Amino acid sequence: MNDFSPVFEYIARYVELTEEEQNLLLPFMKITKVRKRQFIVQPGFVCKSKSYVVKGAFRGYLVDNEGKEHTLVFAIEDWWISDYSSLIYQEPATLFVEALEDSVLIQIDYEDEQTFLRQIPKLEKFERIITQRSLAFHQKRLLSNFTKSAEERYDEFMSKYSEIARRVPQYALASYLGFSNEYLSKIRNRKSKIG
């Protein structure tokens, strides 16, 4: 597979690229196949690229000093994933980014991205929009964690992201929502009895 059309379709939602601009962008992208349980980012290594998910599912998580995993983010088809702090500051990563399924990515190297952003200025607008949307998403998630009960957070996630919930392990979903796997089982059992 060497079809970059999914990422061009994604970009087209925000900015229109000419065929010439698309051709300028092509050398900066690479297709990577990733096996289930393979890591594309690991703590201690500097993250060099961001990844657009063509096929598959990923989770980004950290492990605290007691060895407990904390899932920060999921990504499925048509989403981007990376350890953005490591990528932007070019410092060692703090996250693991793991494939939850056999997957296909389109990856863009950070240094290459800086080059094509200078060559194709309208992609600055694309990057700004994506960054703003990401900031808003993470702010909503933080607010939800502070203001909603565990069950409300679960219901909200299921209503917005049922496809992700269906594809990720229960322990990862529980970690993302901020509670134990056992507590998530109780919520799911209670919900299944109700309806």
The pTM for the full model equals 0.93
Query: Residues 49, 105: contact at Cβ < 8 Å?
Result: no
Direct distance between the N- and C-terminal alpha carbons of the chain, in angstroms, rounded to an integer? 43
Residues 34 and 80 in one domain: yes
Instruction: Assess if residue 139 is contained within a domain.
Output: no
Number of domains in the chain: 2
Are residues 58 and 152 both part of a single domain?
Answer: no
CATH number of the domain residue 95 falls in = 2.60.120.10
Instruction: Determine the Cα–Cα distance for residues 138 and 141; give it in Å rounded to an integer.
Output: 5
For residue 142, is it within any domain?
Answer: no
pLDDT tens for residues 14-30? 999 999 999 999 999 99
Residue 17 to residue 88: CA distance in whole angstroms: 24
- Clarify whether residues 40 and 111 are in a common domain: yes
pLDDT, mean of each 10-residue run, the chain (195 residues): 86 96 96 98 97 98 96 97 96 98 98 94 95 96 94 95 96 95 91 77
Are 157 and 127 members of one domain? no
Q: Look up the domain containing 181 and give its range.
A: 148-195
